[in-house]
Amino acid sequence: MAIEAVIFDFIGTLATVEGYAYEPSVKKMFESLRDVGFNMDYEHFTQAYERAHQKYRVIRYQELVEVTNVVWLSEALNSLGFATNPDEENVKEAINIFFKDYVQSLRRRNCAVRTLKTLSEGKYALGLISNFTYAPVIYAGLRKLNLSHYFNAILVSEDVGWRKPHLRIFKEALKRLNKKADQTVFVGDSPVEDIKGAKDVGMRTIFIPSQFFTVEDIQKATQQPDIILNELCKLPEILSSI
């Protein structure tokens, strides 16, 4: 069946992360909480936050259920004697501050705009699926890189509730695009989350190496992509030949 839709991963595939450091972001989050009355020391806070992070990391990666940062930040604060919930503005604002530098670190990969423009002007419906614990980061990143308008459907795991490679998030993307799996190609850089997940639902797949995953990584994977490309620039030509 002819290809009518292309779904992309975001970070790694269409965007790179340059110059980001985790610890300064944690420090800024801590300071924002101190400024609004959470009286605590930095060491105890970071220990509590890391415990909650690791607890939900197990759930996220083993059960493929997405759990947002505001949940584990609220739980960390409560373990230190405060009474919070994930919907509180102070908690959400602290997470916004935590991710501010990350959003600023995002850069478009070479040929990202040219590729999306070419495909969107052609016969293809375009979708995006991103695993991310805090959906506003992905929407902000897409706006920053001026990529949002190319997509007919954008799915973030926090909004959907399920992470790649769970079949549900791929099926939801197909539903929103009104396409069948065998009409769709998935383009990503993760051997498991992108390639295995998309193959399991019946999509054809294209692997593009990134700062996170190499060609050697995909060659060692149990699920192999249909095509390996070294760069995005070649994608429109390859798609036209499938």
Q: Summarize the confidence of residues 53-76 as an average pLDDT.
A: 96
DSSP string, the chain: ----EEEE--BTTTEEE-S--HHHHHHHHHHHHHHTT----HHHHHHHHHHHHHHHHHHHHHT-B---HHHHHHHHHHHTT----TT-HHHHHHHHHHHHHHHHHEEEPTTHHHHHHHHHHTT-EEEEEE--S-HHHHHHHHHHTT-GGG-SEEEEHHHHSB-TTSHHHHHHHHHHHT--GGGEEEEES-IIIIIIHHHHHT-EEEE---SS--HHHHHHSSS--SEE-S-GGGHHHHHHH-
Cβ count within 10 A of residue 225: 23
Q: What is the pLDDT of residue 224?
A: 95
Phi-psi region of 81 (alpha: psi -120 to 50; beta: other; left: phi over 0): left
* 165-188 residue pLDDT tens: 999 999 999 999 999 999 999 999
Q: Which residues contact 190 (CB under 8 A, 6 or more apart)?
A: 9, 12, 164, 212, 213
Domain boundaries, the chain: 5-16+106-241, 22-104
Phi-psi region of 202 (alpha: psi -120 to 50; beta: other; left: phi over 0): left
Residues 3, 5, 8, 14, CA torsion sign: positive
Residue 198 has pLDDT above 90, yes or no: yes
CATH of 5-16+106-241, one of 1.10.10.10, 2.60.40.2550, 3.40.50.1000, 3.40.50.261: 3.40.50.1000
d(CA 164, CA 67): 13
Q: Summarize the confidence of residues 4-12 as an average pLDDT.
A: 97
Residue 1 has pLDDT above 80, yes or no: no
List the structure tokens of 5: 């839709």
Quick one: pLDDT band at residue 150, thresholds 50, 70, 90?
Answer: very high
* 91-130 residue pLDDT tens: 999 999 999 999 999 999 999 999 999 999 988 999 999 9
Q: What is the pLDDT of residue 240?
A: 81
List the structure tokens of 66: 């997405």
Quick one: pLDDT band at residue 88, thresholds 50, 70, 90?
Answer: very high
Task: Please give the model's pTM, rounded to 2 decimal places.
Answer: 0.96
Nearest partner of 115 among 242, 211, 239, judged by Cα: 239
